[in-house]
Amino acid sequence: MNGISKQEKSWIFYDWANSAYSLIITTAIFPIYFKAAAKNAGVTAANSTAYWGYANSIATLLVSILAPILGTIADYRHFKKRFFTFFFFLGIIFTTLLAIIPGKQWIVLLICYMCAVIGFAGANIFYDAFLVDVTSEERMNRISARGFAMGYIGSTIPFILSIALIILAQKGVLPLSVTIASQAAFAITALWWGLFTIPMLKNVEQRHYIAQEPNPIINSFRRLFGTFRNIKQQQPLFLFLLAYFFYIDGLDTIITMSTAYGTDLGISSTNLLIILFVTQVVACPFALLYGRLAERFNTKIMLYVGIIVYIIICIYAYFLKTTLDFWILAMLVATSQGGIQALSRAYFARLVPKEAANEFFGFYNICGKFAAIIGPALVGVTAQMTGNTNSGVFSLVVLFILGGLLLVRVPERAAAAHEEHI
């Protein structure tokens, strides 16, 4: 990481740290562990799936409600670091508890998972907002992209170790049950997350802030309501948020439903895990490439490129039939998923007033959370109407087209225009 400051490195390493949680707890291992624990406790598959959905929805809703409120308060000096630290420790503590609580106490497990989700998502709000503090505007694309790239690589190391433990336990090579091996994976996740967050806690400080004043909570609500009243003055920023809402919904839907889609094609769980792993590895250099190309050309141009790639993905999915097709689809996703997310974060960071970054990143994260509603519903309805999963994925092309058209309407000099109103 030559040419990168200590603060930039420390910020980037938080992506390396917390991505293990995303892969092991959110996506790959804990959902399977929870389903097995609930089944052993006599809960039907349908009910355990429903409880899993409720838990994720409630945790997401709580974070979405709190995000702009806490973000507005965190714009005061010293508050951003305190809020980040609180949510980080909340996530670490409850991820650790997942490794300790017996599987038969599945309700307690689910509650701890919800608290871990709140900690993870809450910390990410302030982590994203710290981008304006650790680097300059002209370096935001590169630093944000490096964060995503490091995250992809960082998540694979504990994931490989965890999967190896579980497979060796299944085959009797290790004197461990699969349950104990899974719990060890959760402990590894918490340890990895905590260890590599230390540089962030030590070296990253809030440089842009609002001076403290009497009654900070009351004044924070006033500023929040003032933001809503002055939406017309923030039009470029909120127009971008609307574009982001649509295209990130399509992107997240493809990622979150990829396992189910692959299963429908008859791809084995082992092959799906291999494809997931390779996708993470391939996504790393492409995230870096997007950051470099955005500096050479233009951030919006590279966002358009990412949206076009996803439109191609949706069209290709319609004709997808074989495992090879699924591999091709996964590699196409890998070329752009990190890049479009990294550049969206950097582009938004340049649009927001730096002293109010937490408040606006609260709205940014709300868009990311609530965007996970339309896409899955669109896929489900279309798939049911046509009786074809491929048609369901193809329907997501509408979201990318809407996002692209709205992005076109964001002024090229939106950041400069926005600053004139501040």
Q: What is the pLDDT of residues 209-234, one digit of tens each?
A: 666 666 666 665 666 666 666 555 67
Q: What is the pLDDT confidence band of residue 107, given thresholds at 50, 70 and 90?
A: very high
Q: Report pLDDT digits (tens) over 238-275.
A: 888 889 889 988 887 787 667 666 766 777 767 777 88
Q: What is the pLDDT of residue 259?
A: 63
Which residues, including other chains, have CB under 8 Å from residue 107's CB and lie 6 or more apart?
Answer: none
Q: What is the pLDDT of residue 417?
A: 43
Each residue of 299-313: b (16+ CB within 10 Å) or e? bbebbebbbebbbeb
Q: Report pLDDT digits (tens) over 140-171.
A: 888 988 888 888 888 889 999 998 998 899 88
Averaged over 333-353, what is the pLDDT? 87
Averaged over 345-366, what is the pLDDT? 77
Quick check: 418 pLDDT over 50? no
> CB–CB of 123/91 below 8 Å?
yes
CA distances from 392 to 314, 379, 396, 407 (A): 9, 4, 7, 24
Instruction: Examine domains 1-203+216-229 and 234-422 and report if their fold is the same.
Output: yes
Give the least confident one: 15-19, 316-320, 357-361. Answer: 357-361
Q: In the numeric block, which tokens belong to residue 307? A: 């949206």
Burial level of 264, CB count in 10 A (0-12/13-18/19+)? middle
Averaged over 26-51, what is the pLDDT? 82
Closest CA to 372 of 69, 129, 56: 56
- Architecture in CATH for domain 234-422: Up-down Bundle (1.20)
Q: What is the pLDDT of residue 415?
A: 43
Q: In the numeric block, which tokens belong to residue 140? A: 């935001």
Q: Report pLDDT digits (tens) over 44-71.
A: 876 877 787 788 778 877 887 787 777 7
Mean pLDDT, rounded, of the chain: 83
Q: What is the pLDDT of residue 227?
A: 63
Rounded to two decimals, the pTM is 0.79
CATH 3.30.420.40 corresponds to the domain 1-203+216-229: no
Quick check: 422 pLDDT over 50? no
Quick check: 186 pLDDT over 90? yes
Quick check: 87 pLDDT over 90? yes
* Residue recorded with tokens 């982590």: 127
- Pick the most confident of 94-98, 118-122, 365-369: 94-98
Residue type, 264: D
Quick check: 79 pLDDT over 90? no
Measured torsion, CA atoms of residues 321, 323, 329, 331, in degrees rounded to the nearest 10: -170
Q: What is the pLDDT confidence band of residue 397, given thresholds at 50, 70 and 90?
A: very high
> CB–CB of 104/40 below 8 Å?
yes
Q: Which has more pLDDT, 227 or 343?
A: 343
Can you give the residue ranges of every domain in the chain?
Answer: 1-203+216-229, 234-422
Q: What is the pLDDT of residue 116?
A: 95
Q: What is the pLDDT of residue 47?
A: 80
